[in-house]
Amino acid sequence: VGEDVSDATQHAAAGGREKLRVRTVDIRAASLVLIDQRALPHDELYVTCTTWQEVAEAIRTMTVRGAPAIGVAAAGALHLAARRAAVEQDERAGFLGALETAADALAETRPTAVNLTWAIAEMRSLWQRSATPPRQIASALFERAIAIHDDDIDRCRRIGEHGAGLFKADDTILTHCNAGALATAGYGTALGVVRSAFAQYPGISVIVDETRPWLQGARLTAWELKVEDIPFALISDNMSGYFISTGQVDGIVVGADRIAANGDTANKIGTYTLSVLAKEHGVPFYVAAPLSTVDASVANGAAIPIEERAADEVTSFAGTRVAPAGTRAFHPAFDVTPQANISAIITEAGVLRAPLREALAAALVGGTA
Ligand code: MRU
pLDDT 10s digits, 47-93 = 999 999 999 999 999 999 999 999 999 999 999 999 999 999 889 99
How does pLDDT run across 81-123, given as a tens digit for each residue?
999 999 998 899 999 999 999 999 999 999 999 999 999 999 9
361-364: which pairs have CB atoms within 8 A and are 24 or more residues apart?
Answer: 361/261, 361/296, 363/291, 363/294, 364/291, 364/294, 364/296
Contacts of residue 308, defined as CB under 8 A and 6 or more positions apart, other chains included, come to: 331, 332, 333
Is 257 considered catalytic here?
A: yes
- CB of 58 within 6 A of ligand 1: the answer is no
Closest C-alpha to ligand 1, atom 6: 66
Query: Ligand 1 test: best mutation among 157, 177, 224, most atoms within 8 Å of CB?
Result: 177
Q: Answer whether residue 251 shows pLDDT above 90.
A: yes
How far is residue 16's CA from residue 361's CA, in Å, rounded to a whole number? Answer: 38
pLDDT at 269 over 60: yes
CA 112–ligand 1 middle distance (angstroms): 10
Decide the pairing of beta strands 25-27 and 32-35: antiparallel
Residue 215 has pLDDT above 60, yes or no: yes
| pLDDT value of residue 104 | 98
d(CA 197, CA 181): 15
Is residue 66 in contact with ligand 1, taking CB distance under 6 Å?
A: yes
Phi-psi region of 304 (alpha: psi -120 to 50; beta: other; left: phi over 0): beta
pLDDT higher than 90, residue 226: yes
Pocket lining: 109 vs ligand 1, CB cutoff 6 Å: no
Q: How far is the CA of 87 from the centre of ligand 1 (A)?
A: 35
367: pLDDT confidence band, cut at 50, 70 and 90?
low
The atom number, within ligand 1, closest to the CA of 177 reads 10
Task: Report how far residue 174's alpha carbon sits from residue 250's, in angstroms, rounded to the nearest whole number.
Answer: 8
What is the number of residues in the chain?
A: 369
Proportion of the chain above pLDDT 90, given as a percent: 91
Asked if residue 71 has its Cβ within 6 Å of ligand 1, the reply is no
Beta carbon of 255 within 6 Å of any ligand 1 atom: yes
d(CA 307, CA 323): 22
Closest Cα to atom 15 of ligand 1: 179
Between CA 156 and CA 280 the distance in angstroms is: 30
Ligand 1 pocket test: pick from 116, 257, 345, 348 the residue with the most ligand atoms within 8 Å of its Cβ: 257
Q: What does DSSP say about strands 285-288 and 294-295: parallel, antiparallel, or unpaired?
A: unpaired
CA atoms within 13 A on the CB side of 113: 31
Q: How far apart are CA 267 and CA 293, in angstroms?
A: 11
User: Does residue 112's CB lie within 6 angstroms of at least one atom of ligand 1?
Assistant: no
337 lines ligand 1 (CB under 6 A): no
Ligand 1 center–CA 93 separation, angstroms = 36
Q: How many A from CA of 94 to the centre of ligand 1?
A: 35
DSSP class per residue in 62-80:
TSS-SHHHHHHHHHHHHHH
pLDDT of residue 6: 37
Of 257, 264, 295, 335, catalytic: 257
CB–CB of 276/313 below 8 Å? no
Which pLDDT does position 21 carry in this prediction? 65
Q: Give residue 339's pLDDT.
A: 98
For the Cβ of 184 lying below 6 angstroms from any atom of ligand 1, the answer is yes
Cα separation, 346 vs 342, in Å, equals: 11
pLDDT for 157 equals: 96
Cα-to-centroid distance, 67 and ligand 1 (Å): 5
Radius of gyration for the chain, computed over Cα atoms and rounded to the nearest angstrom: 20
Ligand 1 center–CA 54 separation, angstroms: 21
Q: Is the CB of 290 under 6 A from ligand 1?
A: no
Mutating to test ligand 1, I would choose from 59, 268, 346, 348 the residue with most ligand atoms within 8 A of its C-beta, which is 268
Q: Nearest Cα to 191, choosing from 282, 275, 109, 68?
A: 68
Helices (H), the chain: 52-60, 67-88, 92-107, 114-129, 134-164, 190-200, 222-228, 240-245, 271-281, 312-315, 356-366
Strands 232-235 and 294-295: unpaired
Using CB atoms within 10 Å of the CB of residue 352, give its burial: 0 to 12 exposed, 13 to 18 middle, 19+ buried. Answer: buried
Query: Comparing C-alpha atoms, which of 86, 46, 79, 301 is closest to residue 182?
Result: 46
Q: What is the mean pLDDT of the chain?
A: 93
pLDDT in tens, 134-146: 999 999 999 999 9
333 Cβ below 6 A of ligand 1: yes
